[in-house]
Amino acid sequence: MFCFQCQEAAKGSGCTIQGVCGKTSEVANLQDLLLYTLKGISIFAQRGRELGITDPATEKFITGSMFATITNANFTPEHFTARIREGLALRDQWRNRLDSAGAEAALSGHDAALWTAGTDEDLLLKAQEVGVLATEHEDIRSLRELLTYGLKGMAAYMEHAAVLGYVEPDAQAFMEKGLAAVLDDTLSGDELTALVLECGEMGVAVMALLDRANTSTYGNPEITKVNIGVGTRPGILISGHDLKDMESLLKQTEGTGVDVYTHSEMLPAHYYPAFKKYSHFVGNYGNAWWKQNEEFASFNGPILMTTNCIVPPKDSYINRLYTTGHTGFPGVQHIAAGENGEKDFSAIIEQAKSCEAPTEIETGEIVGGFAHAAVMNVADQVVEAVQSGAIKQFFVMAGCDGRMKSRNYYTDFAAELPGDTVILTAGCAKYKYNKLALGEIGGIPRVLDAGQCNDSYSLVVIAMKLKEVFGLADINDLPIAYNIAWYEQKAVIVLLALLHLGVKNIHLGPTLPAFLSPNVAKVLVDTFGISGITTVKEDMEHFIAAV
Ligand code: FS2
Ligand code: SF4
C-alpha cells in the first residue's frame, strides 16, 4: 500500500504498511483499485455527457464510491471488492452504449477502460499496479492526487446535498472530467494545475448547493446554546455529517424514552430550527472524532456513524456501534436504506433501551450557530464593533482536529489571541478551543462557530458581506487572517474553494500535505501565499503585524 491522502500520513510522507488511521494494506489497495475503476467509468461517462447521455445511477455510484474512500469512512474489504465489480459492470455498459451510438471516447484504449476483474486475488494483484506511485513524475503525481482529493471532498458534499434532493450537474460533469484527466498522460503540469483550480470553483458551487439543501430543508442555523452534560435516560449518540440521518433518528426515537446526543461534527445539528422541536434531543457528548475510543466507551449507549470519521473501535463498545451510508467497519452492524430510501433504526433504539444513561464527562453549554444568516442578523453589531475598534481582527480557524500533539498549537493560539479578536470557525477544529473561556466583545462571543466543515462556506459568505459593507475592493483587505487546520480530503476541497475565491496568505497546519511535491508547494506559496505554521508566538506576531 501507499497512501498519503491525510495529514497523519506516516512520517509525514505516506503510510506503507498499515494506515495510521487503522486502514489495512488490503483496504488501501482496494480503494486504489476502486478509484481506478471510477476513472475507467469516467472515460465513457464524460464522452456520453458530450453526446447528451447522462445516467443518474452512474453519478450516484461515482460520488458514493469517492465518499467511501475518504479517510476514516470505510474499512471493510468486501465493500470495496463489491463496488469494484459493480463499477466494472457499469463501465462496460457505458462502453456498449457508446459503441451502439457509434461514438468513441478519448482514452478508450487505456487499461482503465479495458481491464477485467477475475478472482478476488486477481483484484488485489491488479490493485498493486494502479496506486498513487504508478505515476512516476513527482509533480504530476502531486497534482493528480491534489485533484483527486479535492474531488473526494466534493463528492462528500454532493452526496449530502443529493440525499436531500439537490444536485449540481456541472459539478457531476467536472467529477467525471477530473477523474478521466488523472489518467491522461498527455496533460501537462500547467493543465493539471488549471484543473485543480477549477476544482476549487466547483468546490464553492457544491458547498453553496449543500448550504441551500440544508437551509431549505431544515431552516437557517440559529444562535444556540448546546448542553454538553447528560440526562438520566438512555441515549443514542450520532456522529458524522449526515443531517438526513439525524432527522430520521430524531423522528424514530420520539416518544421511545431514548434521548439523542450528537458527537463531533454532528454538533451543529443543534443549530437547525427543524431539530430544536425535539425535546429528547438533549445535547452534545464529547469532542472531536479522534477522542471516540474513550467517549464512546463512557457513553454507554449505541452510537450511529453516519459518515467518516470512524476510529477502529474498542471491544468495550463495538457491539454498540452501527454504521450507515458509505461507512463501514468489519464486525460492526450496518444499517442500509430500504428500497424506499428510508432507514430503520429500530434495532439501535431497542438496544438503547437496555443501556445505562451516558456517564457525565463534562457539564455546561457551548454556543454556536453563527452561519451566514445568523451573522447577518447581527451584522450591525459586528460592523459597529469593528468601526469602534472593539474588534480589531478576525481569525478564521476553521478545519479539522486530529490526534497529533502538535495540534495543541491551535488551543494555545486561541488562548493567546488578544481580547479584541474574534475567531470564526467551522469543522471539528473548533474542539481545540470552543470550551475555553474566551469571553465576548459587546455581546458577540469571541468564538463564532458556523457549523460543520462544509459550513466553511458560511465564513466566506460572511467575509464577502463584510467586504461589501466596508466598501473594500479585495477580500484580502479585510482584517481577517486565516489559520486553518486540515486533516482529511474535505479540508482539501475547502482549501481549494478558498483559493478560488481569492483568499490569500492562508496558514495551513499542523503540517503541509505530504502529497504536495516541493515544486507544487512552491506554486501554492508563490501564487497564493500559502504557508505552514511555526510557533504560536512567531505566528501571532506575524498575524497581528499584518493588520
Ligand atoms: Fe473534521 Fe475535517 Fe468534517 Fe473531517 S472538519 S476531520 O474534514 O469532515 O470532520
Ligand atoms: Fe495513512 Fe491517512 Fe492514508 Fe490512513 S488515510 S492510510 S492515515 S495517509
Look at residue 88 in the predicted model and tell me its pLDDT.
Answer: 98
Same domain, 92 and 16: yes
**Residue in the structure block whose three cell numbers are 498575524:** 543
Look at residue 545 in the predicted model and tell me its pLDDT.
Answer: 80
> How are the residues of the chain apportioned to helix, strand and coil, as percentages rounded to the nearest 5?
50, 10, 35
Same domain, 182 and 45: yes
User: Which among 217, 251, 270 is the end of a domain?
Assistant: 217
ipTM for the predicted complex comes to 0.97
Same domain, 32 and 146: yes
Cell numbers representing residue 306 in the block: 453516519
Task: Give residue 385 CA to ligand 1 midpoint distance, Å.
Answer: 31
From 159, 346, 351, 339, select the one nearest 244 (Cα to Cα).
159
Task: Please work out whether the CB of residue 4 comes within 6 Å of at least one atom of ligand 2.
Answer: yes
Tell me, yes or no, whether 297 lies in a domain: yes
Contact 326/64 with Cβ under 8 angstroms?
yes
Same domain, 166 and 38: yes
Same domain, 322 and 425: no
Instruction: Report, as ranges of residue numbers, the positions in the chain whose pLDDT lies below 70.
Output: none
Same domain, 235 and 200: no
Task: Please work out whether the CB of residue 15 comes within 6 Å of at least one atom of ligand 2.
Answer: yes
Look at residue 50 in the predicted model and tell me its pLDDT.
Answer: 95
State the total domains in the chain: 3
Task: Give residue 60 CA to ligand 1 midpoint distance, Å.
Answer: 22
Same domain, 122 and 270: no
φ/ψ region of 366 (left if φ > 0, alpha if ψ in -120 to 50, else beta) reads: beta
Look at residue 67 in the predicted model and tell me its pLDDT.
Answer: 98
Same domain, 105 and 208: yes
Same domain, 462 and 517: yes
Same domain, 208 and 228: no
Task: Give residue 24 CA to ligand 2 midpoint distance, Å.
Answer: 10
Residues at CB less than 6 angstroms from ligand 1: 241, 265, 309, 399-400, 427-428, 452-453, 487-488, 490-491
Look at residue 547 in the predicted model and tell me its pLDDT.
Answer: 74
CATH number reported for the structural domain that contains residue 95 in this entry? 1.20.1270.20
Tell me, yes or no, whether 4 lies in a domain: no
Same domain, 188 and 304: no
Task: Please work out whether the CB of residue 9 comes within 6 Å of at least one atom of ligand 2.
Answer: yes
Closest atom of ligand 2 relative to the 71 alpha carbon: 5
Which DSSP string corresponds to 97-136? HHHHTT---TTTTSHHHH----SHHHHHHHHTTSSGGG--
Q: Could you tell me the residue range of the domain that residue 464 belongs to?
A: 371-545
CATH number reported for the structural domain that contains residue 392 in this entry? 3.40.50.2030
Look at residue 375 in the predicted model and tell me its pLDDT.
Answer: 95
Look at residue 511 in the predicted model and tell me its pLDDT.
Answer: 97
Q: SS3 for 13?
A: coil
